[in-house]
Structure 1
Amino acid sequence: MIQVLEPGVLTLVQDLGRPGWAHVGVGRAGAADAGSLRLGNRLVANDDGAASLEVLLGGLRVRVLYDSTLAVTGAPGPVWVDGTPVAHNAVLELAAGAELRVGTSPVGLRSYVAVRGGIDVPPVLGSRSTDQLTGLGPPPLAAGDVLPVGPAPDRWPVVELAPEHSWPTHVVLPVQPGPQADWFDDGLAVLFAHEFTVTPATNRVALRLSGTAVPRHEHRELPSAGLVPGAVQIPPDGQPVVFGVDHPVTGGYPVLAVVRGRALDRLGQVRPGEHVRFVVG
């Protein structure tokens, strides 16, 4: 079991989400950076989709109530065990009563804390993930929460440390044309030619961008249509909105482009104030 001492800005339980429910209005949700969640689980020998903690901008402090194996991945901020700095992307063995603290990274947005056995909160529609748009899943962590941990898998970690990858200062998102690309006057050309800034009005539902407005020549109403993660929607003000893991399942503004699946994890690590460019994917 894990006791939450300080939850930080926002810490959520996340796994790989709940696919297959969009037809009844429930999105997939899941980790915003699924690759980092998978890496943490592999380090502690869990199944890839075991529930972990998604930590926004650091600040999490927890105590393990039993001997535990953990790993911290994602945004590469400092990590301490009982005040001693320890490695990121590494297998961490904590004795009962030890405290883990996750600091704020200078790059990226979300870190992931995996524990051997997985966070064993009750699943909802087959997933333990928190969906902030619908309210499904466990609430954000609060000080004093005690989280159950599932039984340890039979296998053991086979590595002690995973290599770090680079964190570029300029975010480049590859896209393909969206279903309403022909509604715009050279909309894709405008999108590719300019840099956009991520605004503070950004969360797991969507990245909201500011920059050169994308003009559109077709002004008729669009019936509500299905959406996918990475959809680049253009509202009337022409400022792009890029949908994330907690996106609504339908939307009424035209979709100019869609971020390629291979870049969705990077999308989950973009911080407000950073600059984004779109390229042909």
Structure 2
Amino acid sequence: MIEVLAPGPYATVQDLGRPGYAHLGVPRSGAADAAGLRLANRLVGNHEGSAGLELTFGGARLRFVTGAWIAITGAPCPLTASETCAHGMRVPFWMPPGAELGIGTPASGLRTYVAVRGGIDVEPVLGSRSTDSLSGLGPAPLRAGTTLPVGDTGSLAAICVDQVPPPPPSPPVLRVLRGPRDDWFAGDAPAGLCARPYEVSQDSNRVGVRLRGTTLTWARQGELPSEGVVTGAVQVPPSGQPIVFLADHPPTGGYPVIGVVLAADLPIAAQARPGDGLSFRLVGH
């Protein structure tokens, strides 16, 4: 059992989401930086899709009512423990019964993941334990006093330290494929999208990364009928300022999509914080 003493600015339970319900208007949701959650789970011997905690801008304090092996990945944060124990980012470590862990503010990045051996065992909704900030499905965002059950560990593999992937490039670059609605824009708008960096807006959230920078001008009048969109779609509203859809994006959109970010680069978008620069690079044909 884990007790949340302080959740930080915004903290939720996340696994790899609930795919397959877009036709019912249900977003996939799940960890915004799925690679970060997968790594944390592997480090403690969990299945990659086990539920963990997603912290936005750190600031959390957790008490481990029973002892637990945990791992913390994603945006790097300073850690403090009430008990003497070895701890650090991207390595498994033991929290004794009753110990408290403080997770500070990340020096870079935005979202930090806490995996506990056995996984967070809240009740699943439509096959997932993820909190969906858009539809409200799943457990409520964490508050002070929230208690979280931990799953059984008896059938899990032994813990082994995984190879940690290299950090993303600086400044961050998102590889993007053209289309499917790049014909809605004046000139060579995909090249314009990639011409210079954008700045991440403070209005960004788990639905999408909102950007400020080069204006992408529509070449058509009227509205585009709503159509299905995928995670990573770069949608451009009438303002001409692009939005990169993240885990809680709606299943459909009414604005043209100029391109789609490669799935491998979505963790970079998920870790972009307000004020960061973010660039695009066209790939494919």
TM-score using structure 2 length: 0.95
Do residues 210 (structure 1) and 212 (structure 2) align?
Answer: yes
Q: 1:233-248 alignment to 2 at 5 Å?
A: 233-248=235-250
Tell me the distance in 2 between the aligned counterparts of 1:157 and 1:173: 36
Letter matched to residue 232 of structure 2: G
Task: Summarize the Cα distance change of 1:160–1:195 in structure 2 as closer, same or farther, 3 Å threshold.
Answer: closer
Tell me the distance in 2 between the aligned counterparts of 1:155 and 1:256: 44
Question: Offset of 1:161 from its aligned partner?
Answer: 6.4
Task: Summarize the Cα distance change of 1:81–1:157 in structure 2 as closer, same or farther, 3 Å threshold.
Answer: farther
Question: Offset of 1:160 from its aligned partner?
Answer: 4.1
Counterpart residue number, 2:180: 179
Contact 1:206 1:242 in 2 (8 A): yes
Unaligned runs of 5+ in 1: none
Question: Offset of 1:180 from its aligned partner?
Answer: 0.8
Contact 1:43 1:157 in 2 (8 A): no
Q: 1:174-217 deviations in whole A, cap 9, x for unaligned?
A: 00012111111211121111211111000000111111111121
Unaligned runs of 5+ in 2: none
Tell me the distance in 1 between the aligned counterparts of 2:142 and 2:101: 15
Contact 1:70 1:116 in 2 (8 A): yes
Counterpart residue number, 1:114: 115
Letter matched to residue 229 of structure 1: T
Contact 2:168 2:268 in 1 (8 A): no
Counterpart residue number, 1:4: 4
Question: Offset of 1:41 from its aligned partner?
Answer: 0.7
TM-score using structure 1 length: 0.96
Tell me the distance in 1 between the aligned counterparts of 2:21 and 2:73: 29
Do residues 275 (structure 1) and 277 (structure 2) align?
Answer: yes
Counterpart residue number, 1:26: 26
Q: 1:211-231 deviations in whole A, cap 9, x for unaligned?
A: 111112112321111111111
Letter matched to residue 185 of structure 2: F
Question: Offset of 1:158 from its aligned partner?
Answer: 3.6
Counterpart residue number, 1:133: 134
Contact 1:76 1:107 in 2 (8 A): yes
Question: Offset of 1:159 from its aligned partner?
Answer: 2.2
Question: Offset of 1:166 from its aligned partner?
Answer: 2.1
Tell me the distance in 1 between the aligned counterparts of 2:83 and 2:134: 36
Tell me the distance in 1 between the aligned counterparts of 2:77 and 2:126: 33
Question: Offset of 1:167 from its aligned partner?
Answer: 4.4
Tell me the distance in 2 between the aligned counterparts of 1:230 and 1:51: 22
Runs ≥4 residues deviating over 3 A: 155-158, 160-164
Q: 1:136-155 alignment to 2 at 5 Å?
A: 136-155=137-156
Tell me the distance in 2 between the aligned counterparts of 1:176 and 1:278: 10
Contact 2:83 2:96 in 1 (8 A): no
Question: Offset of 1:47 from its aligned partner?
Answer: 0.7
| SS across alignment from 2:194 | helix
Do residues 221 (structure 1) and 228 (structure 2) align?
Answer: no
> CA RMSD for the aligned pairs?
1.4
| SS across alignment from 2:132 | coil
Contact 1:235 1:254 in 2 (8 A): yes
Question: Offset of 1:55 from its aligned partner?
Answer: 0.6
Tell me the distance in 2 between the aligned counterparts of 1:99 and 1:111: 17
How high is the sequence identity, in percent, across the aligned residues? Answer: 51
Question: Offset of 1:127 from its aligned partner?
Answer: 0.1
| SS across alignment from 1:173 | strand
